[in-house]
Amino acid sequence: MRAKGAGMSGGEPQSSNFYLHSVFLLLLCLFTSYCSSSSYIKSSVIAQRKHALLPEISPSEAPQPLLPLLAPSPFSPFTNSSIPKLSGVCILNFAAVESMMRMTSIDCVGGFAPYLANVICCPQVDATLTVLVGQSSKDTNMLALNGTLAEPCLSDFEEILVGQGANDSLPRICSIHPSNLTEGSCPVGDVNAFESTVDSSSLLAACGKIDTVNECCKQVCQNAIAEAAGKLAVKTYDLMSIGGSHALADHSTRINDCRTIVLRWLASKLDPSHAKEVLRGLSNCKINKVCPLVFPNMSHVIKSCGSELHDQRACCKSVESYVSHLQNQSFVTNLQALNCAASLGLKLQKANITKNIYNLCRVSLKDFSVQVTPQGVESGCLLPSLPSDAVFDSSTGLSFLCDLNDNIPAPWPAPSQLPASSCNKTVKIPALPAAASGQSRICSADQASHALFVVLAIFALLMKI
């Protein structure tokens, strides 16, 4: 599989100064870890949280169980590949987010960064930058950098990550610019002015700890952030002095820039790990609302599967070819896959394709995510809807959790269908996979029944010497 993703993740080949010169293999395997009690509890807790997040389950047909494949020996340990060359002028306190920086390097490792960008890598990068500026404000009393310092600080940030194994094109992949470290158009950039303008105690009460399952629906913290950003945006600012639509557009930009200032202030009041949890939870509310895939021209599908469908084989062949291009873009979450299935289905319906070609051609939800074919067996990976990170272990290598990794049929959308959402209880999520009988040979029967997640292990990934 070549790293040539598109859409939000970018996907052009990584620059030559940091190349992975070995092919890699993705292999799906059971998350067993010797079937220890700790791994069993982790699977159970995640499964319970997932049931709380997803809308009502309404199976139309029980899917077949996923039979896992066993993984070979892990690849060589992930280690620092270079010593970063820092500018020496950046005032940010990188030591305060040392642990987050290491996690970001793993989440955005080398050639996998484009594929993990929209769900794991870029949200982690954004959270790390926010916490970095927020924690540094304890020393500087500033919630933003000026333009002179922003550029070298962003360069230092990238150098440290690349030195720990991250992709060397993160600014392009995640659309990060020096302006992301400034106050933008927000009129408030220092802590004293912030706390004199905003009801900081109410803001901290609403966002000091969030429920990652329910926040996207109840929006307790999001509403508090919006209120605070609104107060900052109108400080020393007269909407009436700017006319018409330009005033509204300018005010919207200021609101967004001030929202960033609010998040940095929150990050300064929480410890880095806690701040990360809040920020990643908030970002996931936005992530799961959309389909991150870019749909290329579908004229050949429309031609083969038009209203007068005469050749089912030709239709399905064109659908398979089209979907295969989508699979080169990015890993997606289960809710994103539902939104992608709905988006593509509605586009086809607008082109007068009325027949349910998902059912006709056996298109599944996992077909909208990156596919791997270990030992000739096609497998796909849908990431969990809740925030997650990649995991590095010296004995097992690099891995991340996959949710609903089986052949759940993609639902053909109704013409007026709402986007898939954990808040929209009218959306029906297909059945969860049944427990595979083969699991009992690896774990106890009780443990196997809870193995709803699998680990996607990554092997044979060697860094440039």
Other Cβ atoms closer than 10 A to 85: 10
pLDDT of residue 323: 94
Extract the tokens encoding 451: 């193995």
pLDDT of residue 230: 95
Residue 352 lies in a domain: yes
pTM summary value:
0.74
Domain boundary among 354, 373, 400: 400
Look up residue 348 and give its amino acid.
L
How many residues in the chain?
465
* 410 neighbors 63 (Cβ within 8 angstroms): no
Extract the tokens encoding 411: 């639902």
pLDDT of residue 39: 31
- 333 and 270 part of one domain: no
- 120 and 208 part of one domain: yes
What DSSP state is assigned to residue 109?
Answer: B
Phi first, then psi, for residue 71 (nearest 5°) are -90, 150
- 166 and 142 part of one domain: yes
- 137 and 155 part of one domain: yes
pLDDT of residue 137: 97
Residue 437 lies in a domain: no
pLDDT of residue 395: 77
Longest dimension (CA), the chain: 73
Round to the nearest angstrom and report the end-to-end CA distance of the chain.
22
- 217 and 346 part of one domain: no
Residue among 43, 1, 51 at smallest CA distance from 369: 1
Please report, for residues 85, 86, 88, 461, the alpha-carbon distance to residue 464 in angstroms, rounded to integers and kept in the order given.
18, 21, 26, 10
Sheet of strand 397-403: strand arrangement: 25-30, 453-459, 397-403, 391-393
* 85 neighbors 159 (Cβ within 8 angstroms): yes
* 455 neighbors 321 (Cβ within 8 angstroms): no
Residue among 282, 14, 314 at smallest CA distance from 165: 14
- 252 and 302 part of one domain: no
- 156 and 195 part of one domain: yes
- 267 and 355 part of one domain: no
- 147 and 255 part of one domain: yes
* 384 neighbors 456 (Cβ within 8 angstroms): no
Domain boundary among 400, 431, 452: 400
- 281 and 302 part of one domain: no
Residue 15 lies in a domain: no
pLDDT of residue 341: 95
Q: Vertex 335, ends 220 and 5: CA angle to 5°?
A: 115
Distance CA 305, CA 226 (A): 46
Domain boundary among 341, 366, 400: 400
- 284 and 307 part of one domain: no
* 367 neighbors 359 (Cβ within 8 angstroms): no
Distance CA 132, CA 65 (A): 44
Helix axes of 244-269 and 220-233: crossing angle, nearest 10 degrees: 120
pLDDT of residue 417: 65
Torsion, Cα 274 276 218 201, to 10 degrees, reads 50
Residue 174 lies in a domain: yes
**If DSSP codes are grouped into helix, strand and coil, which group holds residue 342?**
helix
Count of domains for the chain? 2
| Residue 382 structural domain | 298-400
- 308 and 257 part of one domain: no
> pLDDT of the chain along its 465 residues, tens only?
333 333 333 344 444 343 333 333 333 333 333 333 333 223 332 333 333 333 333 333 433 333 233 233 333 334 445 678 899 999 999 999 999 999 999 999 988 899 999 999 999 999 999 999 999 999 999 999 999 999 999 999 999 999 999 999 999 999 999 999 999 999 999 999 999 999 999 999 999 999 988 999 999 999 999 999 999 999 865 444 444 444 454 888 999 999 999 999 999 999 999 999 999 999 999 999 999 999 999 999 999 998 777 889 999 999 999 999 999 999 999 999 999 999 999 999 999 898 999 999 999 999 999 876 555 556 678 898 899 999 887 777 778 887 655 678 999 998 766 666 667 655 555 443 333 322 222 222 233 223 323 333 333 333 333
Residue among 135, 180, 131, 173 at smallest CA distance from 154: 180
Residue 376 lies in a domain: yes
Distance CA 328, CA 323 (A): 9
Residue 40 lies in a domain: no
Residue 431 lies in a domain: no
Distance CA 187, CA 196 (A): 13
pLDDT of residue 354: 86
pLDDT of residue 5: 34
Torsion, Cα 79 82 88 93, to 10 degrees, reads -10
pLDDT of residue 197: 96
